[in-house]
Amino acid sequence: MITQEKIEDYIDKIPPAPKILKATLTHLGNGDLVKAAAIAKEDKALNNYLKLLVNKPIYGFKNEVSEVSQIFGILGVSRAQQAVYNYMLSLLSPSKWNLFKLNRVLFYNLQADLSMNWKKILEHLGIEDKDKLSAISLLPASIIVSEALFNEKKKDVALLRSVHEIDLNTILKRLCGMDLFDIAQKIAQKWEMPEEIGEIIQAASGVKPSDDADINTLGKWMHLLLFYTLSQPQYIEADLNDFIDFQIEYVQDIYEEFSQLMEIS
């Protein structure tokens, strides 16, 4: 079994915001897009990431967007904050994935797919909250950490997958004593997100519902979104769909509503 100390070590590798990113997030937290963009311009890698992310077809911009001030202005405070969190993940993303058949571009696409559809869900629910919007960034973060943890026990993972028909999240729990959602909650704490964000993430597991009805509702939508996204062909091929044990009874009351929403372009 992987020790708690080893797990904490990997989570510690999730980058805290460097000075420029921290200042950018502070200004975004205060709702000041002008100051946030002025600071963010100093990080060339962040600039390139934002241009790559925002100019993907999923965002639907007809002309290329290149200036940070323009990008932040279009995204708004909540989505700009989410984009910065996604960039922080790109700093940790491995150059070569071993367990999951991912690469940098496909991982960016995963971030964009989750981000755009989560935004659509929150708008559908009438929720305007930048921290709740950024919560979806925690799931790709926990996938990065899980990749590293699985690499510590490659033979054990291979054996469990070949002998037992169990999902990767269960294997992660057996090897580490923590599942994908526990790891995501730890990262939320490291990024000093509000406590309720970690509670939403836990509810999204489908097996750890919250007593708070609002948190539980968001957990159901996130559980469905994660399963829906990882069931797309490119992520099935990357072996990510094996991460979630779909809890149909947990989300039965919103399943049809979710399906209809995802059909809207």
Query: pLDDT for 9-56, tens place per residue?
Result: 777 666 555 678 888 888 888 889 999 999 998 888 888 888 877 777
For residue 58, what pLDDT is reported? 61
Please check whether residue 261 is in contact with residue 123, taking contact to mean a CB–CB distance below 8 angstroms: no
221-262 pLDDT, tens digit per residue, is 999 999 999 999 999 999 898 887 889 999 999 999 999 999
For residue 17, what pLDDT is reported? 53
Distant-in-sequence, close-in-space partners of 22: CB < 8 Å, separation ≥ 6: 16
Q: Which two tokens stand for residue 26?
A: 């502070």
For residue 123, what pLDDT is reported? 92
Give the residue with greater pLDDT, 62 vs 224. Answer: 224
Distances (CA, A) of 265 to 63, 73, 137, 231: 19, 23, 22, 18
For residue 172, what pLDDT is reported? 87
Distant-in-sequence, close-in-space partners of 180: CB < 8 Å, separation ≥ 6: 139, 142, 143, 146, 169, 172, 205, 243
**pTM beyond 0.85:** no
Distances (CA, A) of 7 to 148, 205, 208: 10, 19, 21
Instruction: State the chain's mean pLDDT as an integer.
Output: 85
Give the residue with greater pLDDT, 252 vs 166. Answer: 252
For residue 186, what pLDDT is reported? 87
Confidence of residue 127 (pLDDT cuts 50, 70, 90): very high
For residue 201, what pLDDT is reported? 95
Burial class (CB in 10 A: 0-12, 13-18, 19+), 265: exposed
Q: Which stretch of 55-64, 99-108, 211-220 has the lowest confidence by average pLDDT?
A: 55-64
Q: What is the mean pLDDT of residues 140-151?
A: 87
Please check whether residue 65 is in contact with residue 74, taking contact to mean a CB–CB distance below 8 angstroms: yes
Given a cut of 90, whether residue 70 has pLDDT beyond it is no
Output the CA torsion 40→45→51→54 (10° steps).
-80
Write down the residue that tokens 């070949």 correspond to: 162
For residue 105, what pLDDT is reported? 83
The C-alpha atoms of residue 174 and residue 189 are separated, in whole angstroms, by 23
Closest CA to 231 of 137, 154, 117, 93: 117
For residue 258, what pLDDT is reported? 96
Given a cut of 90, whether residue 212 has pLDDT beyond it is yes
